[in-house]
Amino acid sequence: MKQVTAAVIEKDGKIFIARRKPGDTLAGKWEFPGGKIEPGETPEACLRRELMEEFGVDTKIGEFICSSKFDYKHLPIELLAYRTEHLSGDFNLNDHDRIEWVAPADLVKYDFCSADIPVLNILRK
């Protein structure tokens, strides 16, 4: 089972989400962005690196929210979600085709990757 990270970035009462671009695994699905943990890397270091690679933003990784396991056909994963603070940089679209800032109550209107749904349910409470 591959461990991957996910960032929950909140600003002005809204949460940052990103849609996977066409051609990607799970294309068109929305997610809390992050990525695969490399050997010897902490989840927090992974998340900071991935957010810089995917969006060109510097972040501070905060408290752990939850873990979610899901067995995708292509890869079984354990998703580790963290509250994350945006420090600097503009959000560029490198690995996604859309981004949105969404009120927690409106998250259910988006078609999320299955592993992200437990995180979504915690944020809606």
Per DSSP, the three-state class of 93 is coil
Per DSSP, the three-state class of 53 is helix
- Written in H, E and C, the secondary structure of 4-47 is EEEEEEEECCEEEEEEECCCCCCCCCEECCCCECCCCCCHHHHH
Is the pLDDT reported for residue 124 higher than 90? no
Is the pLDDT reported for residue 66 higher than 90? yes
* The pLDDT value given to residue 29: 96
Closest CA to 82 of 37, 32, 41: 32
Per-residue pLDDT tens digits for 15-28: 999 999 999 888 99
* The pLDDT value given to residue 25: 86
Integer Cα distance of 118 and 114 in angstroms = 8
Per DSSP, the three-state class of 65 is strand
b/e burial code for range 50-70 (CB count within 10 A of at least 16 → b): bbeebbebebebeeebeebeb
Cβ-proximal residues to 12 (8 Å cutoff; 6+ apart), any chain: 101
- The overall pTM is greater than 0.75: yes
* The pLDDT value given to residue 106: 95
Per-residue pLDDT tens digits for 67-98: 999 999 888 999 999 999 999 999 999 989 99
Domain segments of the chain as ranges: 2-124
Q: Please, what CATH class does the domain formed by 2-124 belong to? A: alpha beta
* 88 HSE (CA, 13 A, CB side): 0
Q: What's the mean pLDDT in 61-67?
A: 97
